[in-house]
């Protein structure tokens, strides 16, 4: 993948073996906090600065990264162009967040949230592929005592602050490795890796950087967000208030949309919401189509930030744009699903963007367009739809408008999009028709 158009910062920390802490899983505690996208989290802070797109982690099941003698914990930050220009500030912020974990110590409320959410997910899990399940059990037979083979990898069984604190303290700037992967770094690559014949550069980390990371300033914008607001406690199966049917039935049909309902015979306390937002303004012209792409790109970022507590409670959200509108899919325990949907709709209704961030969003969308242009399959599909459909605007048509679009135009389009919506919705699962 080094040849791909990516900008990735990887910060790796060698840890003592975590095999003996399988009941505690201290690495999951760190991962949970750093992956959090709610306001106040590291992830949210970096995204609000438009420095990162996402934060991932790699501790892996491979013996290369995780064995009985040592482990390797890698924080992976997917950078924007703006982030590449602020690399030093990003790394400083990461160590400010690590310092926050060290100052506060292991928090039982955070561990309880992780423990409870994972227990619920395990008890009410969907049926999975038999081969995948057999593979998991075979691996677990080598790692856990026989009584824990079925759930040792899923559950957090014991809160032990000493072990968690020991793992947090191992996130030491003096032993970390920092890797930047980007084609824009080629001018600084003066060596060649013999196996893959790839150019790379190797540099020592300046001592003054390490000195700051060992004792960073307190960043008052970083906190440990709460994740308990969408944790389910009611797992009762709702009674059938209408006769069961084999296909969805129409509960409401109006000018603004249609509501379908389907109740199967499933016994899990889960529900599924499927919403399709249709607007006549998204594809009127290439400029409207470009504005719609802006709107969905920014909205997706806002949803990930403000709706993350639901994701932490195993409510899954899938949001995508199509040539007819926006599609939103929600799946999870039914108790708080309607409340979670209400939060998402409020975010969509109160859509806003800072004017100073418009330039950075433009660059992000432009990068997405260029990725599509160099993807031959996507380009062929665009051209085919352009010729066959009455209204379809390929990327090369939209690109000519992207530089001239202003902050006010994006805000005006969001209002226009919301004011002429048709909404089709399907509700299924453990919900009553009422």
Q: Where are the domains of the chain?
A: 7-106+159-214, 249-429
Backbone angles phi, psi at 272, to 5 degrees: -135, 125
Of the listed ranges 148-157, 319-328, 408-417, the least confidently predicted one is 319-328
Matching fold, domains 7-106+159-214 and 249-429: yes
pLDDT of 423 over the 80 cut: yes
Which residue has 């403000």 as its token pair?
306
Number of neighbours of residue 147 by Cβ within 10 angstroms: 8
pLDDT of 274 over the 90 cut: yes
Which listed CATH number (3.40.50.300, 3.30.1310.10, 3.30.1360.120, 3.30.830.10) goes with 249-429? 3.30.830.10
Of the listed ranges 127-136, 183-192, 213-222, 356-365, the least confidently predicted one is 356-365
Which residue has 């599909």 as its token pair?
381
Q: Name the nearest CA neighbour of 102 among 58, 161, 20.
A: 161
pLDDT tens, residue by residue, 244-268: 778 888 888 888 899 999 987 777 8
- Supply the pLDDT for residue 208: 93
Tell me if residue 62 falls in helix, strand or coil. Answer: coil
- Can you say whether the dihedral through the CA atoms of 217, 219, 220, 222 is positive or negative? negative
pLDDT of 401 over the 80 cut: yes
pLDDT tens, residue by residue, 69-84: 788 889 999 998 889 9
- Supply the pLDDT for residue 101: 94
pLDDT tens, residue by residue, 289-301: 889 988 888 888 8
Q: What is the DSSP letter of 152?
A: T
Backbone angles phi, psi at 423, to 5 degrees: -120, 120
pTM of the full structure: 0.82
- Supply the pLDDT for residue 1: 43
Fold of the domain built from segment(s) 7-106+159-214 = Cytochrome Bc1 Complex; Chain A, domain 1 (3.30.830)
Number of neighbours of residue 289 by Cβ within 10 angstroms: 21
pLDDT (average), residues 2-7: 66
Confidence of residue 174 (pLDDT cuts 50, 70, 90): very high
């Amino acid at each position: 993948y080094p040849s791909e158009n990516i900008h990735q910062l990887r910060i790796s920390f060698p840890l003592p073996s975590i095999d003996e802490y399988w009941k505690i899983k201290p690495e999951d505690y760190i991962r949970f906090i750093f992956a959090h996208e709610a306001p106040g989290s590291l992830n949210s802070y970096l995204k609000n600065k438009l420095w990162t797109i996402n934060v991932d982690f790699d501790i892996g099941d491979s013996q290369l990264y995780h064995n009985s003698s040592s482990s390797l914990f890698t924080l992976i930050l997917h950078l924007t162009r703006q982030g590449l220009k602020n690399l030093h500030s990003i790394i400083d912020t990461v160590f400010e967040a690590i310092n926050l974990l060290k100052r506060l110590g292991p928090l039982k409320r955070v561990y309880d949230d992780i423990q409870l959410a994972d227990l619920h997910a395990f008890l009410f899990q969907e049926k999975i592929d038999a081969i995948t399940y057999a593979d998991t059990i075979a691996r677990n037979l080598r790692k856990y005592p026989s009584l824990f083979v079925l759930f040792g990898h899923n559950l957090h069984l014991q809160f032990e602050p000493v072990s968690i604190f020991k793992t947090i303290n191992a996130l030491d700037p003096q032993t970390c490795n920092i890797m930047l992967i980007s084609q824009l770094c080629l001018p600084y690559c003066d060596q060649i890796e013999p196996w893959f014949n790839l150019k790379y550069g190797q540099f020592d980390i300046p001592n003054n950087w390490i000195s700051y990371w060992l004792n960073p300033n307190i960043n008052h914008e970083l906190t440990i967000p709460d994740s308990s607001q969408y944790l389910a406690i009611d797992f009762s199966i709702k009674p059938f208030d209408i006769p069961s049917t084999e296909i969805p039935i129409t509960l409401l049909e109006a000018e603004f949309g249609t509501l379908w309902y389907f109740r199967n015979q499933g016994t899990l306390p889960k529900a599924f919401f499927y919403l399709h937002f249709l607007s006549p303004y998204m594809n009127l012209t290439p400029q409207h189509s470009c504005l719609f792409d802006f709107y969905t790109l920014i909205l997706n970022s806002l949803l990930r930030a403000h709706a993350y507590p639901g994701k932490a409670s195993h409510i899954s959200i899938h949001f995508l744009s199509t040539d007819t509108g926006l599609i939103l899919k929600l799946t999870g325990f039914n108790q708080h699903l309607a409340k979670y949907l209400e939060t998402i709709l409020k975010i969509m209704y109160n859509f806003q963007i800072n004017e100073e961030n418009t330039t950075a969003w433009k660059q992000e969308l432009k990068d997405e367009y260029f990725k599509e242009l160099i993807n031959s399959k996507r380009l062929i599909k665009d051209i085919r739809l352009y010729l066959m459909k009455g209204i379809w605007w390929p990327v090369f048509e939209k690109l000519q408008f992207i530089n001239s679009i202003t902050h006010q135009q994006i805000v005006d389009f969001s209002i226009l999009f919301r004011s002429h919506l048709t909404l089709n919705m399907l509700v299924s699962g453990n919900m009553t028709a009422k």
